[in-house]
Amino acid sequence: MTRAIARSLGIALLTAFIAISGEWVTFRRCPAHRALAAPVILDGGFAVARPGDAQFACTVRHCLVGSLCHDDARCYCAPPEVDVAARIGGACVVDHLHPAPADEDGRCRNARCTEHLDGK
């Protein structure tokens, strides 16, 4: 019985180690963190600005545990009257007030968004 408990604890510890290692690798190779240093945050993907949306270039704090954190760059689409920074807990600037698929300037291009926020 003691051997079975020890084996179960060993498997649990190994599983926890693998899970934490995976999270660490994901945290270190975070694409949103790498976008912070790039001139373009987002220029492709599936999410496109909706009619009436503005595009916001934002930085958001991403933490693994405790104080092990870095800033991520993301593009949000929301109605212009939405306080995006307060909603996401980050810092934002308007990148395009009226984004269009042909936009090739700014940090959020081609009317693409990391996430849509509603005006509620």
What pLDDT shows up at residue 103?
A: 92
- Whether residue 21 is contained in a domain is answered as no
Give the model confidence (pLDDT) of 14-23 as tens digits.
Answer: 787 776 655 5
Q: What is the pLDDT of residue 8?
A: 85
Number of structural domains found in the chain: 1
| Angle at alpha carbon of residue 44, lines to 75 and 107, rounded to 5° | 40
What is the pLDDT, as a whole number, of residue 29?
Answer: 58
Is pTM beyond 0.85? Reply is no
In whole angstroms, give the CA distance from residue 97 to residue 105. Answer: 12
Mean pLDDT of the 43-54 span = 92
Question: Does residue 62 form part of some domain?
Answer: yes
For residue 7, tell me if it sits in a domain. Answer: no
Is 103 inside a domain boundary? Answer: yes
The better pLDDT of the pair 17, 24 is held by 17
pLDDT at 27 over 60: no
Domain with 56, as residue range(s), is: 32-116
Residue of 39, 71, 70 lying closest to 58 (CA atoms) = 71
What are the tens digits of pLDDT across the range 52-86? 999 999 998 877 777 777 888 899 999 999 999 99
In sequence order, which ranges of the chain are alpha helices (DSSP H)?
2-28, 31-37, 84-88
β 68-78/115-116 pair status? parallel
| Alpha carbons 90 and 13: distance in angstroms, whole number | 35
